[in-house]
């Protein structure tokens, strides 16, 4: 004869702990008013019975699912997986449950948003660029949107981003001050807004410094495109015809350029060419590469995003635009002008 098992309910916990069912509900809400001793007694009863609050049932009462959609591309997941990990941890600390929606390309962002809105989510964190029409659609739901490392219209969405332009400008200044005059840029996909910000900051600063002979090679964020770009840029046997600096808008491509320079063309890095990336991925930190790069504060960004989700759920119209500084990580792949200490240290 098959035995029937019924999951314990909040009423079972209430009976076991000698309290009302409403007190059981409050005991599982961190900010609910309840005496500490009572909360301990209720939680002990729940553990003894094997009770776990039903998130779906709670959402019917609170009118909130606790679900936050993360829209992300395949490239971001593969090359900078720290983004997703940091966002998930930060959301869980704020008692949200992340729900992941992945697309192959940035251009498919609105498909991801459509799927997310069909799942009863409370808010959206988008690591993809969304059109004004898509943001307006989410606003009408209402479903607050926080853009991660993307720009957004201030009246429709919040944004939390690294100062990609500022970091790239600083990098150009430091390289120029070190005496470099022949520069090359390995760009990202045309549809990638972060790549455009990094490219723009770098090229604008070089133009201000009087550099007009910048070489440009299109890449796709992947190691293979960096390797091909390195071969193209450094193939000349005449050092005067080669760039002195190659700036790649992400680390994966910079590693490809490094390998092309050292192993295919037998050049010395940084003596023959300085190579710089952006993102500070773990592979670039290894002794085989020691890549000079720019590090994004992923943990701090994720915490600001989670805070912003909470604030927007309390007041949808309170959109804010936040930029956090990036850090230049100086290793062995580039000759940089030394940082000058400010007066008094």
Query: In Å, how far are 102, 140, 271, 276, 296 from 293, measured between CA atoms?
Result: 27, 41, 17, 5, 10
Give the residue-averaged pLDDT of 263-274.
97
Kindly state which CATH superfamily the domain 164-295 is placed in: Response regulator (3.40.50.2300)
**Contact indicator for 154, 321 with CB cutoff of 8 Å:** yes
Same fold? 10-53, 164-295: no
Q: What is the pLDDT of residues 121-144, one digit of tens each?
A: 999 999 999 999 999 999 999 999
The verdict on pTM exceeding 0.95 is: no
Q: What is the pLDDT of residues 232-247, one digit of tens each?
A: 999 999 999 999 999 9
Q: Which helix (H) or strand (E) holds 185?
A: strand 183-187
Annotate 2-27 with DSSP letters as a single string: PPP-----HHHHHHHHTS-HHHHHHH
The CATH class of the 67-162+298-324 domain is alpha beta
Q: Which residue did the predictor score with more confidence, 191 or 273?
A: 273
**Contact indicator for 143, 178 with CB cutoff of 8 Å:** no
Kindly state which CATH superfamily the domain 10-53 is placed in: lambda repressor-like DNA-binding domains (1.10.260.40)
Q: What is the pLDDT of residues 81-99, one digit of tens each?
A: 889 999 999 999 998 999 9
Residue spans of the domains in the chain: they are 10-53, 67-162+298-324, 164-295
Give the residue-averaged pLDDT of 197-217.
97
């Amino acid at each position: 004869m098959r035995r029937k098992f019924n999951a314990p309910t909040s009423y079972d916990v209430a009976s076991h702990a000698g309290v009302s069912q409403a007190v059981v509900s409050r005991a599982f809400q961190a900010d609910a008013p309840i005496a500490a001793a009572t909360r301990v007694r209720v939680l002990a009863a729940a553990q003894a019975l094997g009770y776990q609050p039903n998130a779906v049932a709670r959402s019917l009462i609170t009118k909130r699912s606790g679900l936050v959609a993360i829209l992300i591309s395949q490239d971001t997941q593969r090359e900078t997986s720290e983004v997703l990990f940091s966002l998930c941890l930060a959301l869980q600390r704020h008692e949200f449950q992340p729900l992941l929606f992945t697309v192959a390309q940035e251009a498919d962002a609105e498909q991801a948003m459509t799927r997310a809105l069909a799942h009863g989510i409370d808010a959206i964190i988008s690591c993809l660029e969304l059109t004004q029409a898509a943001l307006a659609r989410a606003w009408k739901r209402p479903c607050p949107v926080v853009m991660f490392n993307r720009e957004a219209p201030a009246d429709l969405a919040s944004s939390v981003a690294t100062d990609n332009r500022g970091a790239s400008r600083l990098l150009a200044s430091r390289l120029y001050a070190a005496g470099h005059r022949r520069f090359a840029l390995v760009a990202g996909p045309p549809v990638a807004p972060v790549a455009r910000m990094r490219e723009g900051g770098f090229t604008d600063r070089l133009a201000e410094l009087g550099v007009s002979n910048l070489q440009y090679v299109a890449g796709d964020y992947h190691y293979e495109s960096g390797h091909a770009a390195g071969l193209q840029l450094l193939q000349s046997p005449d050092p005067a015809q080669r760039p002195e600096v190659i700036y790649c808008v992400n680390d994966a491509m910079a590693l490809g350029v490094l390998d092309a320079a050292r192993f295919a063309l037998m050049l010395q890095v940084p003596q023959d060419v300085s190579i710089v990336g952006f993102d500070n991925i773990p592979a670039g930190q290894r002794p085989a590469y020691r890549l000079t790069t720019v590090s994004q504060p992923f943990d701090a960004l994720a915490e600001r995003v989670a805070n912003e989700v909470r604030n927007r759920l309390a007041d949808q119209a309170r959109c804010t635009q936040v930029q956090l500084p990036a850090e230049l990580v100086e290793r062995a792949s580039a000759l940089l002008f030394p940082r000058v200490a400010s007066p008094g240290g």
